[in-house]
């Protein structure tokens, strides 16, 4: 597959013309070569290691050939990325120009002034590539990367929970919670549990808050200053989650999405909430249920309500301290181009869920979960952009895991979790 990088060449040529005019009108000398405005520029790019890091690395040489901009990419394990970014970005030394960031770190980074807003670059006709087509990125995915109205990063992939269900055991996806619980109970037996449930600390709050919002509740109040999940809607959500645990394999408080994808592939569960790319496991070569999996958006509490689910994006941002911000933006735009993202997606065999509605539609024959992912993306929600959102997420998981495990009163557990969150918020 090839992709359009001739537009990048035209952009560079246009910038060279602008530089030439500026040089002719100026009174001083300049060391910038008008025919090669980025001569000698080397960008440093920091991101987490993994399969799509390798894919991005593979295409950096093409960017250099088109623009003359050299790129050095450094990778660290995901578990080290946050600390590395804090260390490097807080110094303001310009040691990195571009970095990959999940949306839930953006509140912290924006508060510290570590990232360059991208809105002006997108509005600059001399820099913006129409082939990039920002309108092809669903608005909720862009909104997840905005803080105080400023777009801080551009997403290349996202995840959000969708329902995986065994079509040989569940005739149609449930329309509401009563239907889900009934289907899960009916499918239980002969070594199969009705629902998987990933309620380890890293995923607990995401699953629980999806249920709260599906039930018409809120995470925080409208001002973002106090917890709002300890509402009647939150109580119903936690009590429903407790009902689901009665038809789930033991160990749900320690299981991750990856664990549950493996369980479903073994035929051990009939329904589950998983991320779309895990279809490659559930319907993979070693799966015992391949060909018997359906996909649906999350069921609302009451039939006819709107489905929604929390999304997570991975996006590219320009460091505020970059000495070459325009060149850094061009790299971000290049790596987010539709053809390159499509190439990465197919090269990763669907393990990347692209942040582009057209690709989710075009590739759904190869990757059937993408059709549901595209639906989910249109109504998805994201965490509020608070600097301490990770701490808040952990506080909720810690308190409510204990309530579920100990059989405690739902309202009391939610109130205790809300008190902990309010202290963290300073309320």
Are 119 and 150 contacting, i.e. CB atoms less than 8 angstroms apart? yes
Please report the pLDDT score of residue 30 as a whole number: 40
Please report the pLDDT score of residue 353 as a whole number: 96
Q: Which residue has the higher pLDDT, 1 or 48?
A: 48
Where a domain ends, among 371, 398, 415?
371
Please report the pLDDT score of residue 93 as a whole number: 77
Task: Give the CATH number of the domain where residue 74 resides.
Answer: 3.40.190.10
Residue 6 has pLDDT above 60, yes or no: no
Residue 7 has pLDDT above 60, yes or no: no
Q: Which two three-digit tokens encode residue 323?
A: 């000495």
Please report the pLDDT score of residue 28 as a whole number: 39
Residue 44 has pLDDT above 50, yes or no: yes
pLDDT tier, 94 (very low <50, low <70, confident <90, very high otherwise): confident
pLDDT for 269-307, tens place per residue? Answer: 999 999 999 999 999 999 999 999 999 999 999 999 999
Q: Which two three-digit tokens encode residue 423?
A: 């202290």
Say whether both 66 and 95 belong to one domain. yes
Segment 242-258 shows an average pLDDT of: 96
How many angstroms separate the CA atoms of 418 and 238, rounded?
A: 14
In a domain, 379, yes or no: no
pLDDT tier, 413 (very low <50, low <70, confident <90, very high otherwise): very high
Say whether both 299 and 327 belong to one domain. no
Say whether both 304 and 319 belong to one domain. no
Residue 9 has pLDDT above 60, yes or no: no
In a domain, 366, yes or no: yes
Of 21-30, 212-221, 245-254, the one with minimum mean pLDDT is: 21-30
Segment 74-89 shows an average pLDDT of: 96
In a domain, 152, yes or no: no
In a domain, 55, yes or no: yes
Say whether both 192 and 300 belong to one domain. yes
In a domain, 1, yes or no: no
How many angstroms separate the CA atoms of 334 and 327, rounded?
A: 11
pLDDT tier, 206 (very low <50, low <70, confident <90, very high otherwise): very high
pTM of the predicted protein model: 0.89
Segment 247-260 shows an average pLDDT of: 96
Say whether both 185 and 81 belong to one domain. no
Please report the pLDDT score of residue 91 as a whole number: 83
Region of residue 328 (phi > 0: left; psi between -120 and 50: alpha; otherwise: beta): alpha
Say whether both 292 and 321 belong to one domain. no
Taking alpha carbons only, the member of 198, 282, 188 closest to residue 241 is 198
Say whether both 136 and 216 belong to one domain. no
In a domain, 155, yes or no: no
Segment 217-224 shows an average pLDDT of: 95
Q: Which residue has the higher pLDDT, 246 or 22?
A: 246
Residue 2 has pLDDT above 60, yes or no: no
Say whether both 261 and 409 belong to one domain. yes
Please report the pLDDT score of residue 427 as a whole number: 62
Count of domains observed in the chain: 2
Segment 338-343 shows an average pLDDT of: 96
Could you tell me which residues come within 8 angstroms of residue 43 by beta carbon, excluding any fewer than 6 positions away? 69, 70, 71, 72, 97, 98, 322, 324, 327, 328, 331
Give the chain as a 3 state SS string. Answer: CCCCCHHHHHHHHHHHHHHHHHHHHCCCCCCCECCECCCCCEEEEEEECCHHHHHHHHHHHHHHHHHCCEEEEEEECHHHHHHHHHHHHHCCCCCCCEEEEEHHHHHHHHHHCCEECCHHHHCCCCCCCHHHCHHHCCHHHHHCCEECCEECCEEEEEEECEEEEECCCCCCCCCCHHHHHHHHHHHCECCEEEECCCCCHHHHHHHHHHHHHHCCCCCECCCCCCECCCCHHHHHHHHHHHHHHCCCCCCCCCCCHHHHHHHHHCCCEEEEEECHHHHHHHCCCCCCCCCCEEEECCCCCCCCCCCCCEEEEEEEEEECCCCCHHHHHHHHHHHCCHHHHHHHHHHCCCCCCECCHHHHHHCCCCCCHHHHHHHHHHHCECCCCCCCHHHHHHHHHHHHHHHHHHCCCHHHHHHHHHHHHHHHHCC
Residue 159 has pLDDT above 80, yes or no: yes
Sign of CA dihedral 214, 216, 220, 222: positive
In a domain, 136, yes or no: yes
Q: Give Cα separations from 54 to 10, 277, 331, 333, 421 (angstroms).
A: 27, 18, 16, 18, 39
Number of neighbours of residue 245 by Cβ within 10 angstroms: 16
Residue 157 has pLDDT above 70, yes or no: yes
What's the domain range around 350?
6-147+313-371
Say whether both 265 and 354 belong to one domain. no
Q: Name residue, tokens 């991320």.
A: 275
Please report the pLDDT score of residue 92 as a whole number: 75
In a domain, 383, yes or no: no
Across the chain, mean pLDDT equals: 92
Segment 137-163 shows an average pLDDT of: 96
Say whether both 26 and 89 belong to one domain. yes
Say whether both 419 and 285 belong to one domain. yes
Say whether both 85 and 217 belong to one domain. no
Please report the pLDDT score of residue 3 as a whole number: 40
Cα Rg, the chain, nearest whole Å: 23
């Amino acid at each position: 597959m090839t992709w359009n990088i001739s537009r990048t060449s035209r952009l560079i040529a246009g910038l060279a013309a602008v530089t030439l005019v500026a040089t002719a009108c100026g009174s001083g000398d300049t060391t910038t070569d008008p025919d090669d405005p980025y001569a000698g520029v080397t960008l440093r790019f920091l991101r987490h290691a993994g399969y799509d890091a390798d894919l991005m690395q593979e295409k950096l040489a093409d960017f250099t050939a088109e623009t003359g901009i050299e790129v050095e990419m450094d990778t660290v394990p995901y578990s080290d990325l946050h600390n590395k970014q804090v260390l490097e970005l807080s110094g303001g030394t310009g040691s990195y120009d571009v970095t990959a960031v999940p949306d839930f770190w953006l509140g912290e980074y924006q508060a510290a002034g570590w990232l360059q807003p991208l809105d002006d670059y997108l509005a600059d006709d001399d820099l913006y590539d129409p082939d990039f087509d920002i309108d092809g990125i669903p608005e909720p995915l862009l909104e997840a990367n905005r803080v105080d109205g400023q777009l801080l990063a551009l997403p290349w992939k996202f995840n959000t929970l969708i329902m995986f269900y065994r079509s040989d055991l569940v005739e149609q996806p449930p329309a509401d919670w009563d239907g889900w619980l009934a289907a899960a109970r009916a499918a239980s037996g002969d070594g199969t549990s009705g629902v998987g449930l990933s309620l380890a600390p890293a995923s607990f709050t995401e699953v629980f808050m999806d249920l709260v919002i599906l039930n018409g509740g809120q995470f925080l109040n409208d001002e973002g200053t106090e917890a709002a999940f300890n509402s009647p809607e939150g109580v119903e959500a936690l009590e429903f989650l407790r009902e689901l645990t009665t038809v789930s394999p033991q160990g749900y408080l320690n299981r991750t999405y990856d664990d549950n994808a493996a369980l479903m592939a073994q035929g051990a569960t009939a329904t589950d909430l998983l991320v779309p790319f895990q279809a490659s496991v559930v319907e993979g070569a070693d799966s015992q249920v391949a060909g018997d999996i359906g996909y649906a958006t999350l069921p609302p509490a009451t039939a006819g309500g709107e489905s929604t689910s929390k999304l997570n994006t991975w996006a590219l941002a320009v460091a505020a301290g970059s000495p070459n911000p325009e060149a850094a933006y061009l790299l971000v735009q290049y790596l987010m181009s539709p053809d390159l993202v499509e190439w990465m997606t197919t090269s990763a065999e669907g393990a990347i869920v692209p942040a582009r509605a057209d690709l989710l539609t075009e590739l759904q024959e190869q990757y059937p979960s993408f059709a549901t992912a595209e639906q989910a993306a249109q109504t998805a929600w994201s965490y509020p952009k608070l600097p301490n959102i990770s701490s808040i997420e952990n506080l909720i998981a810690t308190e409510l895991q204990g309530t579920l495990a100990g059989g405690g009163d739902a309202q009391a557990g939610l109130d205790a979790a809300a008190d902990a969150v309010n202290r963290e918020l300073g309320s």
